[in-house]
A and B are shown apart, each in its own frame.
Chain A
Amino acid sequence: MWDTLIIQPFTNVLLAITMVVKNFGVAIILFTLLIKLITYPLTAKQLKQTAAMQKLQSDPRYKKMMEKYRDNKEKLAEEQMKLYKETGVSPFGSCLPTLIQFPIIIGLYQSIIKAMAATPLEIFRLERLIYPFLDANKILPIQNRFLWMDLGQPERLPILGIQIPILAIIVVATTWLQSKAMEPPSTGVGDQAAAMTKSMNIYMPVLMGWMAYSLASGLALYFLVSNIATVVQYSAQGRANWSRLFPWIKTKSPEPIPTPVVVIPDDEEEDEEPEAPKPASKPSARAAVKQQRPQYKRKK
């Protein structure tokens, strides 16, 4: 089922691209970009939902609620759900697009592995996957050479007699770049999510680099293109925070999310109304804070 619906079509598209461009490395790049393009609406939706959730979590009312019901998890969950409902933010809104994308990404990865068949058994399995209208004899074997790489082998570039894993280092760099660009703003001191993100920013590049170093360079090429495409997608959405990466570069703040209008009933006014912001010294900063906060209307 998985092979028929995901792996087989993916592998055939990859092989068809290879037949057209006559280069497996270029085919991996184009195929990865194609999949990224197809899944872009899902990515965009996920980014939007994630940003809305982050914004909500930095809201004073949310913080106050967290503080107030710190020792009553049940009530906290109830109030959180109420707030999500009121603001129109779905707590699972960013999960669903990810869940849909997940099999596609796994399928993409597996189809690249399948197409790089190097042993008789792998070639036999690949041959069985190829659709009859694609001539397997013209496709096989796949030319694995791309630039200085053998895409079926881990990549090393000999420089002055030393085998340097250039691609793995670039994968480390781009994974770190991607993590930093996607890092959500911290909601304050003791923000566990921010702490976790910070450690992920270190572990993920090392893990991806380790995989790029050890696995066939065709997969490392896929990691690299995928990383770059993700950063570009983030930038296109206005979500990449370049000033976090390069503090000397002045960039615009991430695009604001449309502020939800929340209606607060009179009897909940005491509990629900956020604290008034402290007067800011600069009017522009105050305006920015105001822009990011939900607007409240009194129920009549």
Chain B
Amino acid sequence: MKKPLFKVILLFLLAAVLLAGCAMGPRAESAPGLSADDSAVYVSYQQHLYKVDSKIGTELWRFPATGSVQVVLYAPALLNDGGVFVGDLANKFHKLDPASGAEIWNFSEGKGWFQAKAATDGELIVAPSSDRSVYALNADGSLKWKFSGEFGFIAEPLVLEDAVIVAGLDHYLLALNKDTGELLWKTELKGALISAPAYDPASASLFVGSLGNELVSINSVDGSINWTFGQNGEITAIYATPLILEDSLLFADESGKIFSLKLSTGTVDWTLDAGGEIVAGILPLEDSFVIALEKGELRAYKLSDRSPLWTRTLDGKLYTTPVVSSDKIVVAVTKGQALLQAYDSAGNPVWSFTPAR
């Protein structure tokens, strides 16, 4: 009678030991995370963060040097003096040497994925996590404070003079005390917030779009709402950070409409139908702007009259806001032949980058 029970217990113990040693990686799918400085682009995708020379499209380094299925990176890297900061889906946040990609330190107290770009004011590093926490780290990687909410944070924060602004999936835009992490104010919107707000220092206003088909201007001091656009069904969900251009606010909604609103009042300057669903944000150029359509089209428009300049079709989907580096427009492709494709300002292909195995 005792023998089968013993066998059962032994089997469970064996299973527990085996399970502890062989874990699969996180099961998540996301778009490449892209960021850039003057001479290089950094793209996080699947097992690595790649630093790529933006002049010629060659890989400079990758982190980690040897990939593992248990470590997946999708967060865009934060580039700051003396460091590249990036989080992964193995619940770790890293500081890397920009020259070599070697790890300087890592923060491993998180219990969820770091999938958003971190933010900094030069001293404090703020990293949101899917574990419903926002972690504020000192320059040496030690924890300064932690704020815990009800839902995960997947949008890039914004570090202002006295406050850290955090967009939450729970429909709230939060302001936290920069020194202590205490909640200063919170403002409820109609839908989940996927992306960071834009900030206009002149009016001390924040501009954020939500999945609730609205774009809202919020006073950064007290969280009061200045104006809301979209109450009459003019727009659909907004996935990317709006773009402030002088006294205008540019953004695209999911349906593919691009809007320009007056920054102060939220009234419409002009609209444009890009002809396809849009998740990525708008990339401003000198006298034009570029938008990536989900279906794989990259389109450039003249800023003055919105006339189309050029369209390029890529093999794959586009969910990531393009960046500019070394005068090249660089776009990250999801499920394409190449991970990165670079164009000059006239839309001519310059180089493409596919990571070597």
Chain A residues engaging chain B, CB cutoff 8 angstroms: 113, 118-124, 127, 136-137, 140-141, 143-144, 150, 152-154, 165, 168-169, 172-173, 176, 202, 205-206, 209-211, 213-216, 245-248
Q: Tell me which of A120, A144, A210, A247 contacts B279 (CB under 8 A).
A: A120
- The answer to whether B24 touches A211, judged by C-beta atoms less than 8 angstroms apart, is yes
Q: Are A120 and B237 in contact (CB under 8 A)?
A: no
Interfacial chain A residues near B170, Cβ < 8 Å: 141
Report B106-119 CB contacts with A as 1/0, cut-off 8 Å: 00000111010000
Interface residues of B in 144-161 (CB under 8 A from A): 150-152, 154
Contact flags B49-84 to A (C-beta < 8 A → 1, else 0): 000000000000000000000000010000000000
Within B10-28, the residues touching A (CB, 8 Å) are 11-12, 15-16, 18-20, 22-25, 27-28
Q: Which residue of B lies closest to A216 (CB)?
A: B27
The main secondary structure of chain B at its interface with chain A is loop
Closest residue of chain B to A211 (Cβ to Cβ) is B24
Q: How far is the CB of A265 from chain B (nearest CB, A)?
A: 48
A135 to chain B, nearest CB (A): 10
A127–B29 touching, CB < 8 Å: no
Known: A120-B154, A124-B319, A176-B11. A214 touches B194 (CB 8 A): no
Contact B15 A172 (CB under 8 A): yes
Tell me the interface secondary structure of chain A in the complex: helix
> B11, B25, B131, B169: which contacts A205 (Cβ < 8 A)?
B11
B31 at the interface (CB under 8 A from A): yes
Q: How large is the interface on B (under 10, 10 to 19, 20 to 34, 35 or more residues)?
A: 35 or more
| Interface: B4 (CB within 8 A) | yes
Q: Pick from A119, A137, A248: contact of B154, CB below 8 A.
A: A119
Q: Using CB atoms and an 8 Å cutoff, list the residues of chain B in contact with chain A.
A: 1, 4, 8, 11-12, 15-16, 18-20, 22-25, 27-31, 74, 111-113, 115, 130-131, 150-152, 154, 169-170, 190-192, 194-195, 211-213, 237, 239, 254, 279, 319, 334
Q: Whole-angstrom distance between the alpha carbons of A270 and B16 in the complex? A: 56
Q: With a CB–CB cut-off of 8 A, which chain B residues contact A118?
A: 28, 113, 115, 130, 152, 154
Within 8 Å CB of A141, what residues of B? 151-152, 169-170, 192
C-alpha gap A189/B316 in the complex (Å): 57
Cα A246 to Cα B23 with chains together (Å): 32
Shortest Cβ distance from residue B244 to the other chain A in the assembled complex, whole angstroms: 21
Contact of A137 among B12, B113, B195, B212 (CB under 8 A): B212
Q: State the Cβ distance, B60 to closest chain A Cβ, in Å.
A: 27
Q: A120-B279, A124-B319 are in contact. Are A165 and B16 (CB under 8 A)?
A: yes
